[in-house]
Structure 1
Amino acid sequence: MRTVTFRGGSGLKIVGDVDGPEEGPAVMLLHGGGQNRFAWKGSGAALAARGYRVVALDARGHGDSAWDPAADYEMETMAADLLAVIDQLGADRPAVVGASLGGITALEAHAVAGHRDIFSAVVLVDIAPKVENEGSRRVVSFMMANPDGFATLDEAAAAIAEYNPHRPPPSSTAGLAKVLRQGEDGRWRWHWDPKFIAERGARMLADPPGWEAERQMRADRLHASAGALQAPLLLIRGLLSDLVSDETVAALRAAAPQAEYVDVRGAGHMVAGDDNDAFTTAVTSFLGHHLRATA
């Protein structure tokens, strides 16, 4: 595996890990909001071992990718980053697996590209064009909490456990060092630009009707994008998710009747500090059915 620096749509530094055979079908792994590329570590290794060329990216403002000086974290901008990286990879119609924010980025990129046939497969991991408002608020509230960071990694682990009590506690907090940065004051803060969530959170709290109207417009746009996909589409829902419901699944399948769907028992919505390995089996099975790898 090697770490590669790309340039996003505006020239911003985007960092990714590339693994697997160069001649393998390209699979891009996009993390959720507040996560980074290490959330896909186990899944990426499994896919690379099966002969795929795996590219796990840090979104702008996350992980080792640059923070935008203008705090531009709009979905269209993130979509432009993805399209720019695909161009730099020289990948012909890569598959894209997106968790939460990453899945929205994939559908937005398809919309920005004018619904051209740019992907060989799309996997949405616990995300749909329309999500439950209460679950969305809960995620945003979690990300806005603890702006002064944590005194210890154990304290951060406790915050994650409080958000997702169904998640098995980690055997070690060492993995949290990948998603937190220790400042000069010794405190640990999340490894993302606070401005990424601050502006969204402010809009959500200050103008609920406006926020809801914006969410609906986005959902309509992304449903249209999903329905226009020529590539195979899979929605994976964590059965414990409070973001993706039976209703939001039905809305996606009405807009995109070709979509396949699977529940993952015991999995909830992922946040910072979580890995996405609970979804690996569903991802590898779907890609194995639709893409021919080299291994």
Structure 2
Amino acid sequence: MVNDARAFVATSHFPAADLSLAVETRCPDGHPTLLFAHGFGQTRGAWNGAAVALAQAGCRCVTFDARGHGESDRVPGGGYHMDQFADDLQRLAAAQPQPPILVGASMGGLLGIVLAGETRPAPFRALVLVDITPRWETGGVERILAFMQAHPDGFANYAEAAEQIAAYLPQRRERKSEQQLRPLLREGADGRLRWHWDPALLAGDLVQESERYQPRLLAAATKIEVPVLLLSGARSDVVSRTTVDEFLQLVPHAQHVELPHATHMVAGDANDAFTLEVARFALGLAPLPASRRVAGAVPSQ
């Protein structure tokens, strides 16, 4: 473990191609670098528990809000596309002091599969895929989208939002506090609290586009050469034994660990077990060749 002082949080704004992304870096002089990419409708806050623990273990941990999410800029007029998200992730990876290990959940993992399979050299030294495979169970994704679409008028207060989240995540023992909810909600001019993400993410064809991405994802998976760890939740409704087996056939060098008490929300459901598996994998990788240790640096605020 390192001194907590080395694990401080530095917040910055990263210039993507057409907008700015909110980025946090913990243990900036640590090694290796872990770049965390959250799922659709989430924020960098989804990784807080894991990022703090891994930074204290000596890893450089970089979390960010994807475009249209959290504190990152929204696309003017909407018009979100998967390739935009992939380009943002590739730019962030290239800006790190060494090729990072990507820890990608759901949408973040899908972007990692595409970039690792299609780009040479790969922008990541390794992949940790969090409960996502190139083919997924449609029912689980539909459940997520239904929750995101269920409250277009927002919530009267934080208690109401906490109640709805608890109903959506019954496996969680504790309800979210107002402090935990503040980064996830924005107060509108009418005083109602609405989710942090841009409604245009659901209004366009981004969701349908992700379905059309599947052939590309399957093809990209066969070309992945970097080390891969797939962490799945035994109670997930997004991946299944069938989709996991298919992925392991496509990427035979991949490791797979199933966390017995986790749903699709792996890091939130079983953070200690999740963090332990990521640490084992990341710290067990062979050192990078000297020629790949220096890339760029994340711009300061």
Q: TM-score, normalised by structure 2?
A: 0.85
1:98 pairs with 2:104: yes
Q: Aligned residue for 1:3?
A: 11
Identity of aligned residues (%): 38
Which residue in 1 is equivalent to 2:224?
Answer: 229
- Report SS of the residue matched to 2:69: coil
Indicate yes or no: 2:59 matched with 1:52.
yes
- Amino acid across the alignment from 1:134: G
Correspondent of 2:282 among 279, 287, 290: 287
Structure 1 residue 129: Cα displacement:
0.8
1:107 counterpart = 2:113: yes
Q: CA deviation at 1:280?
A: 1.8
Partner of 1:116: 121
Partner of 1:87: 94
Q: Deviations over 1:259-283 (max 9, x none)?
A: 1111112211239xx5773522221
1:162–1:40 CA distance, 2 compared to 1 (3 A):
same
1:256 matched to 2:263? The reply is no
Q: Does 1:78 align with 2:73?
A: no
1:117-174 per-position Cα deviation (integer Å, ceiling 9, x unaligned): 3211101111111100111111111111101101111211222222222222236342
Label 1:285 to 1:149 Cα distance change in 2 as closer, same or farther (>3 A): same
Query: Is 2:174 aligned against 1:180?
Result: no
5+ residue gaps in structure 1? 205-210
Tell me the TM-score normalized by structure 1. 0.87
Indicate if the aligned counterparts of 2:94 and 2:123 stay in contact, CA closer than 8 A.
no
CA gap 1:85/1:277 in 2 versus in 1, 3 angstroms:
same
- Separation in 1, partners of 2:246, 2:164: 32
Preserved CA contact (<8 Å) 1:131 1:248: yes
| 2-structure distance, mates of 1:49, 1:292 | 20
Instruction: Decide whether aligned partners of structure 1 residues 171 and 220 sit closer, same or farther in structure 2, where only a CA change above 3 A counts.
Output: closer
Match of 2:21, SS?
strand
| Structure 2: runs of 5+ lacking an equivalent | 1-8, 289-301
1:151 aligns with 2:156: yes
Q: Distance in 2 between matches of 1:276 and 1:62?
A: 24
User: When the two structures are aligned, how many residues end up with a matched partner?
Assistant: 279
Indicate conservation of the 8 Å contact 1:150/1:187, yes or no.
Answer: yes
Residue 4 of structure 1 and its aligned partner are, at CA, apart by 1.1
1:30 to 29, 34, 37: 37
Whole-angstrom distance in 1 between the partners of 2:216 and 2:189? 43
Q: What is the match of residue 277 of structure 1?
A: 271
Q: Distance in 2 between matches of 1:66 and 1:171?
A: 25
How has the CA–CA distance of structure 1 residues 276 and 108 changed in structure 2, closer, same or farther, with 3 Å as cutoff?
farther
- Distance in structure 1 (CA, Å) of the matches to 2:269 and 2:92: 23
Q: What amino acid maps onto 1:160 in structure 2? A: I
DSSP 3-state at the match of 1:142:
helix
Q: Return the match for 1:166 from 171, 177, 181.
A: 171
Measure the CA separation in 2 of the matches of 1:111 and 1:134. Answer: 27
Superposition deviation, residue 42 in structure 1: 1.0
CA contact (8 A) 1:25 1:291 kept: no
Q: Partners of 1:242 and 1:275 in 2: how far apart?
A: 14
